[in-house]
Structure 1
Amino acid sequence: MRTIKSLILAIVMLVGFACQENQDYQDAITDGSYQIAAQLKLTDVIIHDIFSPPVASRIYAYPSIAAFEVVALADPSYKSLMGQLNGFDKKDFDTDGDIYYPLAALSAYYKVGTAMIFSEALMQTHKEKAFQEIRNKGVPKKIFDRSVALGEEVAAHVIAYAKKDNYHESRSFEKYTVTNDAYSWQPTPPAYMEGIEPHWNKIRPFVMERSNQFQSPPPTDFSTDANSQFFKEANEVFTVVKNLTKEQKDIAFFWDCNPYKVNVKGHVMFAEKKITPGGHWMGIAAIASKTAKQDWKGTAETLAYTSISLFDAFIACWDEKYRSRLIRPETYINKYIDEEWLPLLQTPPFPEYTSGHSVASNAAAETLTRLFGEPFHFVDSTEVAYGLPIREFDSFRIAADEAAISRLYGGIHYMPAIVNGSEKGKKLGEYLNEKIKTKGDNLAHTKE
């Protein structure tokens, strides 16, 4: 009898230890820290590979969507984006057996993110380190392998979806041809780079029906007459930049986000690699997620939703840029006002109207406000890694307004590009909020 009791006790203890082990591995990933770390690494690679702002928005979007699709498999309260995004066909996935969904989501993110970049080894190394940490937390090998496999299966579906967005075809489209029209954009110093992504409006949007769905009114009629409205707008840029306060300069530098900044020293020219505007807002999305103490599912939702808004924002903005092809302040002011004038920031290599910062920031702000409500205080430390201090905001909309006006302070845009760009971004963000449902009851985090 004593032997039987001892055996029963041993079995109970083994079951208890097994339950404890199971609980331990379930706690390997609870919040969004692993996906945020993966996104930060993706940002590093985007900077390393010098992707343009529109292309960077694409690189952020598809991995984020893949991770969120795993969330939708894990939790029926979340709604798949398949069938909601343009051309994203529905597909069933085999979820039989034990699957650790947080790991599957991370697997999907890394797989798609690596497929979007040039320096694949950098992402691969980061993934292997993260996966080893998760293994060390006790995830059983069979469950680990099955979870990674599910993530890669979801990733394959998303990669196939991405291949049909016309991006690869656009790589062979003709380059932008500079014209001699007085009003039209000209390459600017010091690198005099060619126009970036003149055919981005041909990329398939996620939610918009067409690239010009939120078309802005045309820019102010071009004129060199000192009494004209256009001259006054150019002179405003000239005057503001000459009289900037320290705070205005700080704001301009904080939101610069120019991945094409070129420095010249003597006969040597070298690039200063920086984050893109979309990368800055993806950083804000990650900060908001951590501030709100979201779990891994909420984090994936936030990053996917924000990346979708940024992707469509750059399509909408670039559609207008290469329709109006408007001259930059630097070119106009040097020719008609003061040939020695320089903007505070280096002029990016594409037409002026509308402001990309204004469109993208306001679209992202609307979607983030939908998720987290207003007011929402956050500390924006996104630029600390690039040598700039933090800035604090009480709402995403306030941050977007500052990002937009920073382009006037930087000498990059006339006011209509900022005002009309901001309006375009807001309308786009509102439209996305109406069209995309990531929760069965719309968006669960709304506080409005």
Structure 2
Amino acid sequence: MKKSLHYILGIILIHFTQTVYGQQDKSNQSAAPLHHAHQVLTSITIHDIFSPPVASRIYAYAHLAAYETFIKGNDSYYSLQGQLKEFPAIAAPQQPVSIPLAGVYAFMLTGKNLIFSEKTMEDSITQVIKVYKKQLSPKAFQASLAYGKMVSDSIISWSKKDHYADTRKLRRYDFVKGEGKWVATPPVYMAAIEPHWRMIRPFALDSSAQFAPHPPTPFSKDKNSEFYKEAYHVYHTRNTLTPEQTAIANFWDCNPFAVNVHGHINYATKKLSPGGHWLSIAGIASQKINADIVKTSAAYTLTAIALFDGFISCWDEKFRSNLIRPESYINSYIDETWKPLLQTPPFPEYTSGHSVISTASATVLSNFFGDNFLFTDTSEIPYGYPARTFTSFIQACNEAAISRLYGGIHYLPAIEQGQIQGKKVGEQVLRKIKLQKT
């Protein structure tokens, strides 16, 4: 882990730029420092095994801190103050500072406050500071750090009011008893992940239940019932997968902690989370158009907001409907030996989380970069999967959604309703939050 982070840091240090607030035009700033700082944070969230909802929270606050720093002195972007509930007013720096240093420093300090591997992030920050210390005057250097810390402190203080700490104090989740209710699944029968996530304060949503989907199909064991047919569809699809469908399922797996069982040997595989994957896409799109650091930050931030609210909306429904997973149903009523291609996640089935957050992300990214945006998604190459090319963000989110059927972990209605839910979340973000003025 440390070796990979040191490699990433080496790239960061090569690409850092020296732009001083109030002294140079900021429109052509390189976005490389932000891209690579984001990669450092991603590496740590993977190492620390944060669940998808919690990872979305870490990303969101870190990128909000960076964005509010980078926009200072740039009249083409709006502050989030006045757009997000109780968001702090952050004044512009009163003396010359390096905006790239202050912004990336704010990003990394905020991330450090929200992760477990603080020492790793602190080592990264130390290396960044060394580079700037050589490039800036002592006064500008200290002022930049002070400003970045001020922004980070403001964002962290605001984050503490989102009820996350309250959810840490609640009792362990008790499974709901009854036919058709979600139960823990093989191979390790993990406890429920974030059953109280609906309590988290959203950014653009009026409430966690604002876009509650239609209820799932009523549970039934009857072979002539609609529910049985939906389960059998999953069963048949998994048993007749084509190589392309298998590749799609694996590419979009995004399981932060998959447990592999081979005889008596168990080991875990860590991967990019769904939110981390879509933020990677936001970074890929920004790099393709050579977006400057402010536009890049806006793309990351808008995507992070959509992800954050998408998880809140989805988790609200998951623990309301509390629906049994295909693996549990199929093993009980169709084929006791059947296994899904992907490991079943430890939370209820309806709606599909990847369908919700992928569609929410694609909705805001399409608005930001355009509907017909060709890009090659290289996000999963570090985890052994080849790149895939898409003609639009919507095409990518549609593939991400249907991958859950191919993987054997969702019924089709959870995917279809999840995409409807995600689109509504993305559209709400675009209605409530404006970043670019033109």
TM-score in terms of structure 1 length: 0.91
Equivalent residue, structure 2, for 1:73: 72
Q: Distance in 2 between matches of 1:140 and 1:226?
A: 75
Equivalent residue, structure 2, for 1:246: 243
Q: Distance in 2 between matches of 1:286 and 1:364?
A: 13
> 1:135 and 1:178, CA in 2 relative to 1: closer, same or farther beyond 3 A?
same
Equivalent residue, structure 2, for 1:39: 38
Q: Deviation digits for residues 152-201 of structure 1, max 9, x if unmatched?
A: 10110000000010001110112221133111001000010011100000
Where do residues 145-294 of structure 1 align in structure 2 (5 Å cutoff)?
Answer: 145-294=142-291
Where do residues 99-178 of structure 1 align in structure 2 (5 Å cutoff)?
Answer: 99-136=97-134, 138-178=135-175
Contact 1:234 1:333 in 2 (8 A): yes
Contact 1:196 1:349 in 2 (8 A): yes
SS of alignment partner, residue 72 of structure 2: helix
Equivalent of residue 396 in structure 1, options 390, 393, 396: 393
Q: Distance in 2 between matches of 1:130 and 1:96?
A: 23
Q: Distance in 2 between matches of 1:373 and 1:76?
A: 22
Equivalent residue, structure 1, for 2:297: 300
Q: Deviation digits for residues 89-137 of structure 1, max 9, x if unmatched?
A: 32435x222122121111110110110100011112222223333444x
The alpha-carbon deviation at position 27 of structure 1 amounts to 9.5
Letter in 2 for 1:181: G
Q: Distance in 2 between matches of 1:388 and 1:314?
A: 25
The alpha-carbon deviation at position 148 of structure 1 amounts to 1.6
Q: Distance in 1 between matches of 2:402 and 2:129?
A: 42
Equivalent residue, structure 2, for 1:51: 50
Equivalent residue, structure 2, for 1:438: 435
SS of alignment partner, residue 319 of structure 1: helix
Contact 1:260 1:348 in 2 (8 A): no
Q: Deviation digits for residues 316-350 of structure 1, max 9, x if unmatched?
A: 00000000000000000000000011000000000
Q: Distance in 1 between matches of 2:350 and 2:303?
A: 23
Contact 2:358 2:397 in 1 (8 A): yes
Contact 2:20 2:96 in 1 (8 A): no
Count of aligned residue pairs for this structure pair: 419
Q: Deviation digits for residues 43-75 of structure 1, max 9, x if unmatched?
A: 111111111000000000001000110123231
Q: Distance in 2 between matches of 1:216 and 1:173?
A: 26
Q: Which runs of 4+ in 1 moved over 6 A?
A: 20-23
Q: Distance in 2 between matches of 1:372 and 1:179?
A: 43
SS of alignment partner, residue 266 of structure 2: strand
Aligned identity (percent) is: 49
Equivalent residue, structure 2, for 1:329: 326
Contact 2:359 2:394 in 1 (8 A): yes
Letter in 2 for 1:228: S
Contact 2:19 2:29 in 1 (8 A): no
Equivalent of residue 309 in structure 1, options 302, 306, 314: 306
Where do residues 409-428 of structure 1 align in structure 2 (5 Å cutoff)?
Answer: 409-428=406-425
Q: Distance in 2 between matches of 1:155 and 1:400?
A: 32
Q: Distance in 2 between matches of 1:333 and 1:224?
A: 10
Q: Distance in 2 between matches of 1:21 and 1:215?
A: 46
Q: Distance in 1 between matches of 2:188 and 2:19?
A: 59
The alpha-carbon deviation at position 268 of structure 1 amounts to 3.3
Contact 1:31 1:299 in 2 (8 A): no
> 1:299 and 1:21, CA in 2 relative to 1: closer, same or farther beyond 3 A?
closer
Q: Distance in 1 between matches of 2:263 and 2:235?
A: 27
Q: Distance in 1 between matches of 2:133 and 2:282?
A: 28
Q: Distance in 1 between matches of 2:154 and 2:217?
A: 45
Contact 1:74 1:101 in 2 (8 A): no
Contact 1:365 1:400 in 2 (8 A): yes
Letter in 2 for 1:400: C
Is 1:357 the counterpart of 2:357 in the alignment? Answer: no
**C-alpha RMSD of the superposition:** 1.8
Is 1:64 the counterpart of 2:63 in the alignment? Answer: yes
The alpha-carbon deviation at position 314 of structure 1 amounts to 0.1
Q: Distance in 2 between matches of 1:40 and 1:22?
A: 24
The alpha-carbon deviation at position 31 of structure 1 amounts to 1.7
Q: Distance in 2 between matches of 1:21 and 1:261?
A: 43
Letter in 2 for 1:267: H
SS of alignment partner, residue 44 of structure 1: helix
SS of alignment partner, residue 191 of structure 2: coil
Q: Deviation digits for residues 351-371 of structure 1, max 9, x if unmatched?
A: 000000000000000111111
Equivalent residue, structure 2, for 1:9: none
Q: Which segment drifts farther, 80-89 or 353-362?
A: 80-89
SS of alignment partner, residue 71 of structure 2: helix
> 1:329 and 1:372, CA in 2 relative to 1: closer, same or farther beyond 3 A?
same
The alpha-carbon deviation at position 295 of structure 1 amounts to 0.5
Letter in 1 for 2:142: D
> 1:403 and 1:420, CA in 2 relative to 1: closer, same or farther beyond 3 A?
same
> 1:26 and 1:144, CA in 2 relative to 1: closer, same or farther beyond 3 A?
farther
Letter in 2 for 1:334: N
TM-score in terms of structure 2 length: 0.93
